[in-house]
Structure 1
Amino acid sequence: MSALSQWIEDFEGNEMPETIITSGKGGWVNIQGSKPAYEAVSGHSCLNLGHAHPELVKSMTEAMETLSYCSPEHLSPASIALSAKLDELLGGDFMTKYSLSGSSANETALSIARRRWRALGKPEKTVCLSLDRSYHGNLGQAQFVTGFEAFRVEGRPDSPEFIHVSSARNADTGATYTLDEIEQQLEQSISTIGADKIACLFVEPIGFAGGVIVPPKGYLKLLRTLCDKHEITLVVDEVITGFGRSGTWFAFQQEGIRPDIVTMGKGITAGCFPLAAVSVDKAIYDDLRAHKVPLKMVITMAGHPVGCSIALKAIEIVERDGLCQQVTVNSQLIHAKFEQLIHQPTIFEVRGFGHMWALEFCEYNGHTAPHIAEKVAQQCQENGCIVAAADGVIRINPPLNISVEECDGMLLAIVEAVEQISHELLI
């Protein structure tokens, strides 16, 4: 079997070596012509419960037999129940609009944020702020919200409606800014643009795709305060970080804030079905309805009853099996193991928490960081572990239900790969 007719490349436009995944069970996949490997990046940050979870398979089958489709202009019992469950998990008084992917969820959130200010008589508030290392998708207007240059869509023009401000980490030095420095930078940006022109600020609690950027504690509280002060809609992108990956249902809950809008995808169905959602503070929804400012956004497959049924079952499993708490325990194990690598000459930094980790490499013995990261990723796969490499950083975010034995094996495969490549490059 060979993919002669399928176009495939990575985020940076590079052609990929032909890796054909033939089957999967739990966290493991079978690769044509190679040995089985563990999904240390949960597929694409979405397989929260691994492959072929029997309860999800049963839920999918029963849902398909009951109602195989429902127009997004109608309701299904599953979509109603999921909306109610999301409202509960988010803290109450949220209205949910379904979407199809993280990109489309963020595009929907952008439209809602801008229409909010139009409804309130401030149509000039249209500018969208996001972070310079952010990733919010690469379709439609979401590609403009994305700030990470490595993932920038080729040919995308700059737009004065989309301004990328500094993330919590200095992209040049790797140093994390203090809260005071972050506040000064944001206040300066807002002053230069004019708060009367800014509609929203998009933020990921952890910038996973951008290199697993972990901001200082109090970061989201600071953003909430600044957004309130300047009348800016705070959009928290939980497409990757949501549904337990941080150790809480949503990563923003670790700081006890309330976003205006939350976007979700990937893990909402544990990667078993395309589904995304945008949950909006009910006060914003009420303003739009009261001022007769419709959203006018209908997506054919949004709120699919099969996807909503799977999402409900996935949430039930995470709750029942205490997987949020288990992620917190695993976080300590992962950190302790990766700390063994900080003395390797190829390693610049180890960072992360929960099930979101990064190994950042540095130039070594004439080899660039991206080259080293790619070689380590290849060695990891040979060791039976799939990781993701881009921009000199390896990203790791395993399924939430990883066993102790699987976690030990995953970490051993990664550590041995780093040590082996570091030794080879020394020669």
Structure 2
Amino acid sequence: MSDQALTADEIVALSKKHTLFEWSAQSAVDPIPVSHAKGSYFYTPDGKRYLDFNSQLMSVNVGHGDPRVIRAIQKQAETLAYANPFMAHEPRARLGKKLAAICPGDIDAFFFTNGGAEANENAIKIARLYTGRSKILARYRSYHGGTAGAMTLTGDPRRWAAEPGIPGVVRFPDFHKWGRKDPEPVAESLRDIEEVVMFEGAKNIAAILVETVVGTNGILIPPDGYMQGLRAICDRHGILLICDEVMAGFGRTGKWFAVDHYGVVPDIITMAKGLTSSYLPLGAVGMRRPIADHFQGNVLFAGLTYNSHPMGCAAALATIGVYEEDGLIERAAKMGEVLRKHHQALYEKHPSVGATRSIGLFGMVELVRDRKSFEPLAPYNGTSDAMKQVHGHLKEKGLYTFVRWNGIMTNPPLTVTEDELAEGFGIIDSALSLADKFVNG
């Protein structure tokens, strides 16, 4: 086997020939070949640099190539690369204790998974086992993962191909409707939820599952009072509240977890992505003590070969250490104010910008044809010539981020500098000049 490195074209050609890319017709994929990464940037084999304005999948929170996380992974590989999940080891023990210290309220027991989808799968399994009830309520503007159960929990169109899916999942109305600038009034949203609970029968509902801040469906931030009201509804009816913090957790919003902004303690919390900054796969289901205690005498019917993987746990511990040592949670809140000012500048300059939303370093620029009608620049679950031009310009100028439907996401690593934010928003600014040409009138 040759030790000569593959060229960028060879990497792409072989990857397209022998591997499948997700959420895509394979003939349409145009992947970026990546050779290495550092800080807020990654590079192709032929030397092109990209500013990573999406932290890959909203997950490389501590930036690329942090030597502290890398060393922890190397050390763990040298001592204990794997132990089966029926065994106990030091990284597992230490990570459980550490997560108990940083999670909201009395959440202090954890079931470790391979990632976010499996965390949500096991969260609903645990909720059903604990309550003896079957139904799970979830929203349309949501994404909870690509496995069978998580795909049914997901509201967005990616679930369509997997339907009918698992039984027992019921939708309730979103607090932010598609094609509208502002969220719905809190009282109205909460009444809608109460109505669904009434129609479905509260005693049949095991849990209400929500992304605390909605991620790929628009960076939708619940108005104050919504999460508190949701908690109160669950308490009234003995329903568990599950908060999916896979994307919003670990400093992304300027707090350890997004629920911390609202003073709410969920019964179950799911996490992944920023847990290890995606240096290695790991997810977790955190739960309050009464739920964990239920399984002292009752079987937890859940299992994974890589549950509590030593290397994943070691990576998570090191990552959490970086958050603390570098003050990244607080930094995300501070830099989030800088990001918000860039959003506002784009709104004031470009008529194609219908709305911007952000909380910490979790942001979205939403493009429209007309601010008054708020007609999106691309349809629901679709694209347009305008958005294709915008996306192509960003890529050409070396900015990597998600462009989905009519939105441009702005989710850089928590280590991002003011200069890097200015660089990224400068490229977005130039791309929006193309979008402005498609504004009505």
TM range (shorter): over 0.9
**Alignment-derived partner of residue 181 in structure 1:** 188
Match of 2:367 in 1: 361
Question: Which residue pairs with 2:161 in the alignment?
Answer: 154
| AA of the residue aligned to 1:349 | A
Q: Deviations over 1:126-160 (max 9, x none)?
A: 100011101100202111111122x2241411665
Cα offset, 1:345, TM superposition: 2.9
**Are 1:16 and 2:29 an aligned pair?**
yes
Matching residue of 1:135:
143
Q: Which residue matches 1:63?
A: 76
Question: Structure 1 pair 251/52, CA: closer, same or farther in 2 (3 Å)?
Answer: same
Q: Structure 2 regions of 5+ residues with no counterpart?
A: 1-9
**1:334 Cα deviation after fit:** 0.9
Tell me if structure 2 keeps the 8 A contact 1:198–1:232.
yes
Distance in 1 (CA, whole Å) between partners of 2:129 and 2:399 is 45
Could you list the runs of 4 or more consecutive aligned residues of structure 1 that deviate by over 4 angstroms after TM superposition? 11-14, 364-367, 423-427
Which residue of the other structure, out of 403, 408, 412, is the alignment partner of 1:398?
A: 412
The 5-angstrom pairing of residues 146-295 of structure 1 reads 146-149=154-157, 151-157=158-164, 161-290=168-297, 292=298, 294-295=299-300
Q: Residue 9 of structure 1: CA displacement?
A: 4.1
Q: 1:218 to 1:95 in 2, by over 3 A?
A: same
Question: How far is the alpha carbon of 1:423 from its aligned partner?
Answer: 4.3
Does 2:97 match 1:84? yes
Whether 1:324 aligns to 2:329 is: yes
Distance 2:284 2:290 in 1: 18
Size of the aligned set, in residue pairs, is 418
Instruction: Among all aligned residue pairs of Structure 1 and Structure 2, give the percentage whose two residues are the same amino acid.
Output: 27
1:254-309 Cα offsets, whole Å, 9 max, x none, are 1111110000001100110000000111111112324x2x1221111121111111
Match of 1:312 among 305, 317, 332: 317
Q: Who is 2:342 aligned against? A: 337
Answer yes or no: is the 8 Å Cα contact 1:19–1:32 preserved in 2: no
Partner of 1:296: 301
2:253 maps to amino acid = S
Whether contact under 8 Å (1:224, 1:234) holds in the other structure is yes
Letter in 2 for 1:272: Y
Which residue of the partner structure matches residue 100 of structure 1?
Answer: 114
The secondary structure found in structure 1 opposite 2:436 is helix
Deviation at 1:29, TM superposition (A): 0.9
In structure 2, C-alpha distance between the alignment counterparts of 1:420 and 1:361, rounded to whole Å: 11
Could you tell me which runs of 5 or more consecutive residues in structure 1 were left unpaired when the two chains were aligned.
119-124
1:346 to 343, 352, 369: 352
Structure 1 contact 374–390 (Cα < 8 Å) conserved = no
RMSD of aligned Cα (Å)? 2.2
Question: Separation in 1 of the partners of 2:131 and 2:37?
Answer: 47
Cα distance in 1, alignment partners of residues 122 and 109 from structure 2: 13
Q: Contact 1:135 / 1:209 at 8 angstroms: preserved in 2?
A: yes
Going from structure 1 to structure 2, the CA distance change for 1:14 and 1:112 (only over 3 Å counts) comes to: farther
Residue aligned with 2:111, SS? strand
- Aligned 1:372-411 pairs, distance under 5 A: 372-411=386-425
Contact 1:262/1:278 (8 A) holds in 2: yes
Shift of 1:395: 1.5
